[in-house]
Structure 1
Amino acid sequence: MTREVSLGRTLAVIAAGGVVGSLARYGVADAWPHQQGGFPWATFVVNVVGCFLIGVLLARITPQTHPLLRPFLGTGVLGGFTTFSTFAVDTDRLLPDHAVVALVYFFGTLAAAMVAVWAGDRVAR
């Protein structure tokens, strides 16, 4: 049995979740700044933790779950929390003068994010 929800309600819960996730990410970045040329740990941790939680969420969501929970938590909160656009900008800024840090950050984030989604799924199941 599926419960239909309006597009407007879905967009509203995504927006509300995005506010929550973005504010949480901002808080982490504000509390954990990095020096120019340094490894962007806050962005790395936010993306890896967010990917782990996405793995957990996707493993736990069932057809019986309220239809607005996945858009709120997945697209909204975790979509707002993770920041692969900042990851791309950080990498671009590091490349000219700190190529080794940039490459470690780039490939390390991708690998850790994929492992995190897998681990979140395994833990949740």
Structure 2
Amino acid sequence: MRAILAVLVGGAVGSALRLTIDLVLPHADDALPLGTLVINVVGSFALGVLVARVWPPAPPWLRAGLGPGLLGSFTTFSAIGLSAVQLTTVGAGMLALGYVAATLVLGLAAAALGLRLGRRRDPA
């Protein structure tokens, strides 16, 4: 039950953060959906850091609240798909393809960087 409540709380916070960033960053119908790209790259980095640093000692309810809850609601693949489809409907098919590729490449790179930076280092 604790894990379910953690996911509910994390989901509410992640969704609110996502909407806030989408509202703050400029977004025109025929322009690159910068908000979604930033959100997904930042979320990938944050998940990498959390998995490397927080997951090993964290209780299951905290992992559920931060992973599927907070970051699961903050980053979504459905938003990438919607943004790409919207770009194609305004005749920007190549931009849509580049956007999806950039999201995947930057997201994977951010997750790898987060894992690397999040690893605990033994004191020398």
Give TM-score scaled by structure 2 length. Answer: 0.90
- Report the Cα distance in structure 2 between the residues aligned to 1:111 and 1:92, rounded to whole angstroms: 19
Q: CA deviation at 1:92?
A: 1.0
- Report the Cα distance in structure 2 between the residues aligned to 1:41 and 1:35, rounded to whole angstroms: 10
Pick from 82, 94, 105 the counterpart of residue 89 of structure 1: 82
**Structure 2 residue 47 is the aligned partner of structure 1 residue 57:** no
Instruction: Give structure 1 regions of 4+ aligned residues with deviation exceeding 4 angstroms.
Output: none
DSSP 3-state at the match of 1:95: helix
DSSP 3-state at the match of 2:28: coil
**Structure 2 residue 1 is the aligned partner of structure 1 residue 12:** no
**Structure 2 residue 102 is the aligned partner of structure 1 residue 115:** no
Within 5 Å, give how 1:7-46 maps onto structure 2.
8-46=1-39
Gaps of 5+ in 2: 120-124
Summarize deviations over 1:21-75 as a string: whole Å, max 9, x none: 000000000111311110000000000000001111111111x322211111111
Match of 1:99? Answer: 93
**Structure 2 residue 73 is the aligned partner of structure 1 residue 80:** yes
Q: How many residues align?
A: 117
Deviates more, 1:77-86 or 1:46-55: 77-86
Give TM-score scaled by structure 1 length. Answer: 0.89
Q: Percent identity among equivalent residues?
A: 38
Gaps of 5+ in 1: 1-7
